[in-house]
Amino acid sequence: MSQKTILVGVAGASASGKSLLAETLIKEFASEHVCMISEDSYYKDQTHLTMDERVKTNYDHPESMDHDLLLEHLKMLKNGESIEVPEYDYSDHNRTKNTRHVEPAKVIIFEGILLFVNPAIREAFDLRFYMDTPLDICLTRRLQRDIVSRGRDMDSVISQYMATVRPMFMQFIEPSRQHADLIIPRGGKNQIAIDLIKTKIHSLVN
Ligand SMILES: Nc1ncnc2c1ncn2[C@@H]1O[C@H](COP(=O)(O)OP(=O)(O)O)[C@@H](O)[C@H]1O
Ligand SMILES: O=c1ccn([C@@H]2O[C@H](COP(=O)(O)O)[C@@H](O)[C@H]2O)c(=O)[nH]1
């Protein structure tokens, strides 16, 4: 593909609405080539650990991510090369054996909690957005989502939140907002923000 791929990064707290914003943008660009990749796909392989050990991993610390592979993939997409994105299973706390083939589309939206922490990764994005959603709303949404879709119970979500999710948000994620081009309040249903982002992406693509 000769056309340049526009790489968009959406960061913010867990359950702040990053995926919803990305999915909404994809729908709005219906006829064009836009796709989404989650940073969660780049959690390190944990096959060598037992399930009891995997449960104890700090999934909100940058060390839990294979950011080297993510950076390599960002560079490959920019060079017009396709990538094989690992598939992640939250219930198993591990990568599966499958990958997703992703072609260098016109626009690729990456969403993830730690995307703006590593300087080389954040600089690879043409546009950077940060979801500014209050933490109590994020926790409520995360409780519902993790129990319904990620094989978790209330006690495990709350104890993980207190032990790692909130402290790592304070240490790494919240400070990374300073690197965003645009801070988005009211989550993934903020239609004015969505319209502004669409206009900017259109101007970069054309
Ligand atoms: N503005 C919103 N209003 C209502 N529910 C929302 C809103 N934004 C996100 N959600 C819901 O909250 C949950 C977490 O949102 P999601 O986009 O998956 O967060 P993230 O990708 O940041 O972890 C999902 O179930 C989603 O549908
Ligand atoms: O095995 C895992 C992997 C990740 N998590 C949690 O997921 C969130 C990040 O995903 P979002 O979609 O942005 O919420 C992160 O806060 C991890 O704590 C997990 O619990 N288990």
- What Å distances lie between residue 110 and 19, 22, 59, 180, 204, CA to CA? 9, 8, 18, 14, 17
Bridge partners for 106 per DSSP: none
Q: Using CA atoms, how far apart are residues 97 and 159, in angstroms rounded to an integer?
A: 29
What tens digit of pLDDT does each residue of 49-103 get? 999 999 999 999 999 999 999 999 999 999 999 999 999 999 999 999 999 999 9
What tens digit of pLDDT does each residue of 157-200 get? 999 999 999 999 999 999 999 999 999 998 888 999 999 999 99
In a 10 Å sphere around its CB, with 0-12 CB exposed, 13-18 middle and 19+ buried, how is residue 153 labelled? Answer: exposed
What tens digit of pLDDT does each residue of 3-41 get? 789 999 999 999 999 999 999 999 988 766 899 999 999
- The answer, yes or no, to whether any atom of ligand 2 lies below 6 A from the CB of 168, is no
Question: How confident is the model at residue 31, as a pLDDT?
Answer: 61
- The answer, yes or no, to whether any atom of ligand 1 lies below 6 A from the CB of 188, is yes
Task: Supply φ then ψ for residue 2, to 5 degrees.
Answer: -90, -30
Nearest CA to ligand 2 atom 8: 14
What residues contact residue 206 under an 8 Å CB cut-off, 6+ apart? none
- The answer, yes or no, to whether any atom of ligand 2 lies below 6 A from the CB of 59, is yes
What tens digit of pLDDT does each residue of 103-155 get? 999 999 999 999 999 999 999 999 999 999 999 999 999 999 999 999 999 99
Within 10 Å of residue 87's Cβ, how many Cβ atoms? 12
- The answer, yes or no, to whether any atom of ligand 1 lies below 6 A from the CB of 160, is no
- What's the chain's Rg over C-alpha atoms? 17
- The answer, yes or no, to whether any atom of ligand 2 lies below 6 A from the CB of 129, is no
In the reported structure, the alpha carbon of residue 168 is separated from the centroid of ligand 2 by a whole-number distance in angstroms of: 12
Nearest CA to ligand 1 atom 12: 141
Q: Is the ipTM of this complex over 0.95?
A: yes
In the reported structure, the alpha carbon of residue 142 is separated from the centroid of ligand 1 by a whole-number distance in angstroms of: 8
Query: Which domains are present in the chain?
Result: 6-205 (3.40.50.300)
> Please, what is the angle between helix 18-28 and helix 191-205, to 10°?
60
Question: How confident is the model at residue 1, as a pLDDT?
Answer: 45
